[in-house]
A and B are shown apart, each in its own frame.
Chain A
Amino acid sequence: MGNPIVFIILAAIALASALGMLLSRNAVHSALFLVLNFSTIGVLFLVLNAPFLFVTQITIYAGAIMVLFLFVVMLLGAERLGGRGVEVGSWQVPVSIILALILLVTFGYVLLNGGDPAGMTGEPAIASGPREIGLTLFETYLFPFELASVLLLVAMVGVVVLRTKRGKDG
């Protein structure tokens, strides 16, 4: 959709929340900022004609993953662990910022010299609802889908193993 206002508002919120996560001293605050960020990105998905992904993003990312993060933060009492930021080499910070600027400049270059300015107007040309996603998933990408399920299984097993490995600490 070509409404720039919507985009600008959403973009602003996303950036702000991202910066908030980065700079916050309290881990819980960082997590909550991130939740906001994920939600905003979900809305952007919706604007980009991906409703299924919008729902998936909210459900899994904002809902499951971030909750998991908050659990762990609470569990470990990490809200108190903030500290300053850097102790490891005084050159870490300047170098990182320089590198990040280089990356942004590169992206800017790409933007200004390439890309196709047109194309995001009008009605979406294809349907992209759950039905279409599902069909594509189970027809073209069946094998990766199965692999992904195996991956989840492996992750579950791994988590359990990690928890019960050391009996005395566990």
Chain B
Amino acid sequence: MGEVTIGWYVALSATLFTIGALGVLLRRNAIIIFMSIELMLNAANLTFVAFARHLNDLNGQVIVFFVITVAAAEVAVGLALIVAIFRSKNSINIDELHMLKG
């Protein structure tokens, strides 16, 4: 099998990212979509850390730190929004949120 190269990590990241993208595109439940977004972010984080190890650069890990922070803030606000929407529409089926239809 040989050594674990950076390529393996990148492949894993790519696959996880693609799965997350599919989740965003295909699921109706707003919360599941959010979770898919988080999955995508994590895939990116994995890439950063892998390259930090590969290039022996600490900056990669620092970026991940910030990404995690931002993700946390985003989740808080997003979930509050979903709750607020649920209050008025009693549903979190995003297909019912088409009031911006042109």
Contact = CB atoms under 8 A, between A and B. Distances in A.
Contacts of B53: 48-50, 120, 124
Interface in B1-17: 1-12, 14-17
B19 A22 contact: yes
Contact of B42 (A41, A120, A154): A41
B5 A96 contact: no
B22 A22 contact: yes
B72 A22 contact: no
B25 A169 contact: no
Given A7-B4, A87-B28, A115-B6, A53 B54 contact: no
A3 B46 contact: no
Interface residues of A, number: 90
Contacts of A97: 22
B20 A117 contact: no
B46 A137 contact: no
A69 B70 contact: no
Given A15-B16, A76-B86, A116 B73 contact: no
A88 B95 contact: yes
15 contacts: A11-B12, A15-B16, A49-B53, A72-B82, A76-B31, A81-B92, A85-B27, A104-B14, A116-B5, A119-B6, A124-B53, A125-B56, A128-B58, A141-B66, A162-B84
Query: 4 tightest A-B contacts by CB?
Result: A155-B73, A107-B14, A96-B25, A162-B80
Given A21-B39, A27-B32, A107-B14, 6 more contacts: A11-B8, A41-B42, A76-B31, A141-B62, A151-B73, A158-B80
